[in-house]
Structure 1
């Protein structure tokens, strides 16, 4: 695959989501990216096969595709635009966000090495770190989401620092330049899952982070109708991951890539709405007498408010809070909501609500849940694209019922 040309334009998110960094020619001069629905690509004769293989061995490109597991034109166009939006040299698409997380970690981890994770993180990432990595001879530390805690956990064999920012579910925001300094001092690779921020709100690569991962299911797709993940970074750094991707084959199909690329065309517009709604609802919840505590980085009460203001353009539409009372009051509040669907995920057009202890951590023991801060009255909402006045009214009427 050829290296991308140096960026020619200083376009913003809405433009990049539609065009990428320039325009690629499409079949039949189609404006929208065509869905190339095929699993393989034929050659005219054996001489063409020989020339293709020889060119690939020499690092030249005479045609792009040979087999569907190695890439697809619809996928390639989507990756091109994702890289442009992130400001990355290269993007690699996977079938889900967790596919991107796990295969990226498996590519860059080393036997008998040590990986640091933040203790507040997505449940499946935590489970992979604590339950699976030891099988590969990898040691793991889960630490507070601060540069100080990360540096204290550094060992001679620390090879990777894996973070989220904001974290899930408490929306902690890490001081990324400080973490980059720690990583460089100890020659560790930095990987961040920035799903909850998106490149609209934070640019980890510009701050020196090596690799960025997103669940493209969320804000990039934006309509609760697809599953995908993406890993982004420098072209040469991702070569090993590309080989892993070709081997494992956990990439999305052409139709998913079409939906994702279509979602990117409205990404900038949707993020403005998400950011505005998130701030308005967070302020309302913090002032409500039946809410005990709110976590949202834009609020002065958030423990990382100063870092968030410095690093982030906006703060998204995920808000975590405690309902006053316990399990009974929390469930009554959720059941009284009319516009919020009870389901995990975020970043889509519909507003969603989750009682964290029940939906995401039900199979954990109560002792373990409490130890990691998952109490019965902890609620996470992910605002959609409804009118924010309607969302606030719905939340208020549900709180009034408890």
Structure 2
């Protein structure tokens, strides 16, 4: 019998070699040194660990980490998984595993901003060429080069949640001899399945929805069998590992992933619908909304949405967005998302995009809708809108009559 993903997540990753009953959760194995019965056994294990997953030294993982790797592999539908200290470390190791100096990687304009900084800094300094393509993937054919080794995808994209046609992008890349890596942090394995859509590598910031409680940092990378060897060798070369305690926390978080995402979705859709009726709002970014330009692709490729949505204000006053966020009481002001709490941050899209023109659009307010009561969150947003009600009047007194921003 084939069970659904939430059911499999509730039962996956239970490993125990101890005689007797089996614990519901695997034990936390804290170890650096691993002992062997003989020199011959140690020699054999070291000879095999390049391709087999073996408990030979703490930097190569341990049974707790292996249990989490198995859960992520099942969640992503891949061949094998490796764990990294952060989501950014996972992204960096993906690029360094497959792209060499003198080669080229394509990154989407909607990419997580620290990856943009990595491209413009470290990668460029070490001879790895990068270009950014439109978030919808429409200009990928024109930007592919003979030396392009990797096409990196983020769908839905950071901040504005643009979708690209991943199967089409993957077909182009593969015909060109390039691999495809997808940042699947938004989809978290349940909502989006990049490896099923043609990607070779799927990475996630487990810091977000997989952990789910804002108390752990981690990144995961799951690959197809053909892409595994290069990632594994690079991770070993850089000594990449995570603590068993962190692995245990993420594994515990994954157990409730399906239930949490369902609640995040329900509340986020309610908030998005409420924001659509607010006269202060110019545009909402949420691909689950029927009038979002990415909705058709979202319907085709995604299996629901999460707690993220963004919007811009009609007000042209520079202080409006900042005062709005400062006035929120239940929404914390902080980086990250995917935990149980609601968050709000401002995003300067002129810095976060280089292909798409954003200069005439206001600052984006990104919300993560947590697990609080949705009525309480709406009341908090209501009082924040009240706090900016007089801004345009004040700005008009200073600058002359106000011209309403277009509803784009």
Q: Whose radius of gyration is greater, 1 or 2?
A: 2
- The separation in 1 between residues aligned to 2:304 and 2:49, in whole angstroms, is 43
Secondary structure at the counterpart of residue 319 of structure 2? helix
Secondary structure at the counterpart of residue 353 of structure 1? strand
Residue 263, structure 1, aligned to residue 253, structure 2: yes
C-alpha displacement of 1:290: 1.0
- The separation in 1 between residues aligned to 2:213 and 2:10, in whole angstroms, is 17
1:199-278 mapped onto 2 (5 Å cutoff) = 199-278=189-268
> Residues 153 and 37 from structure 1, CA distance in 2 versus in 1: closer, same or farther, beyond 3 angstroms?
same
Q: Find 2:108's aligned residue among 108, 118, 130.
A: 118
- The separation in 2 between residues aligned to 1:380 and 1:88, in whole angstroms, is 31
Residue 385, structure 1, aligned to residue 371, structure 2: yes
Q: Find 1:398's aligned residue among 384, 389, 396.
A: 384
Point out where structure 1 has 5 or more consecutive residues left out of the alignment.
Answer: 1-8
The runs of at least 4 consecutive aligned structure 1 residues that moved more than 4 Å come to 54-57, 367-376
- Tell me what 1:344 maps to: 335
- The separation in 1 between residues aligned to 2:104 and 2:356, in whole angstroms, is 26
C-alpha displacement of 1:368: 7.9
1:236-385 mapped onto 2 (5 Å cutoff) = 236-325=226-315, 326-357=317-348, 377-385=363-371
Q: Find 1:49's aligned residue among 38, 42, 48.
A: 42
Secondary structure at the counterpart of residue 329 of structure 2? coil
Q: What is the CA deviation profile of residues 119-173 of structure 1, one whole-angstrom value per residue up to 9, with x for unaligned ones?
A: 1221101111122222222221111122321112112221111010011111101
- The separation in 1 between residues aligned to 2:203 and 2:359, in whole angstroms, is 25
Q: Is the 8 A contact 1:205 1:212 kept in 2?
A: yes
> Residues 289 and 261 from structure 1, CA distance in 2 versus in 1: closer, same or farther, beyond 3 angstroms?
same
C-alpha displacement of 1:23: 4.6
Q: What is the CA deviation profile of residues 286-332 of structure 1, one whole-angstrom value per residue up to 9, with x for unaligned ones?
A: 22111111110012332211111111111211111112323322122
1:98-177 mapped onto 2 (5 Å cutoff) = 98-177=88-167
- The separation in 2 between residues aligned to 1:398 and 1:201, in whole angstroms, is 31
Q: Is the 8 A contact 2:60 2:241 kept in 1?
A: no
Q: Find 2:182's aligned residue among 162, 177, 192.
A: 192
> Residues 149 and 60 from structure 1, CA distance in 2 versus in 1: closer, same or farther, beyond 3 angstroms?
closer
Q: Find 1:18's aligned residue among 10, 32, 56.
A: 10
- The separation in 2 between residues aligned to 1:214 and 1:300, in whole angstroms, is 27
C-alpha displacement of 1:79: 0.7
> Residues 107 and 344 from structure 1, CA distance in 2 versus in 1: closer, same or farther, beyond 3 angstroms?
same
Q: Is the 8 A contact 2:335 2:345 kept in 1?
A: yes
Point out where structure 2 has 5 or more consecutive residues left out of the alignment.
Answer: 389-408
Q: What is the CA deviation profile of residues 3-58 of structure 1, one whole-angstrom value per residue up to 9, with x for unaligned ones?
A: xxxxxx632222222222x853354632211110111211133233234345557x
C-alpha displacement of 1:250: 2.8
- Tell me what 1:5 maps to: none
Secondary structure at the counterpart of residue 385 of structure 1? coil
> Residues 133 and 83 from structure 1, CA distance in 2 versus in 1: closer, same or farther, beyond 3 angstroms?
same
- The separation in 1 between residues aligned to 2:48 and 2:387, in whole angstroms, is 69
- The separation in 1 between residues aligned to 2:195 and 2:356, in whole angstroms, is 34
Secondary structure at the counterpart of residue 384 of structure 1? coil
C-alpha displacement of 1:60: 6.7
Tell which deviates more after alignment, 74-83 or 113-122.
Answer: 113-122
> Residues 60 and 175 from structure 1, CA distance in 2 versus in 1: closer, same or farther, beyond 3 angstroms?
closer
Q: Is the 8 A contact 2:134 2:355 kept in 1?
A: no
RMSD: 2.4
Q: Is the 8 A contact 1:177 1:208 kept in 2?
A: yes
- The separation in 2 between residues aligned to 1:304 and 1:56, in whole angstroms, is 44
Secondary structure at the counterpart of residue 200 of structure 1? coil
Q: Is the 8 A contact 2:187 2:193 kept in 1?
A: no
Q: Is the 8 A contact 1:95 1:228 kept in 2?
A: yes
Q: Is the 8 A contact 1:163 1:192 kept in 2?
A: yes
- The separation in 2 between residues aligned to 1:50 and 1:129, in whole angstroms, is 40
> How many residues align structurally?
385
- Tell me what 2:392 maps to: none
> Residues 373 and 256 from structure 1, CA distance in 2 versus in 1: closer, same or farther, beyond 3 angstroms?
farther
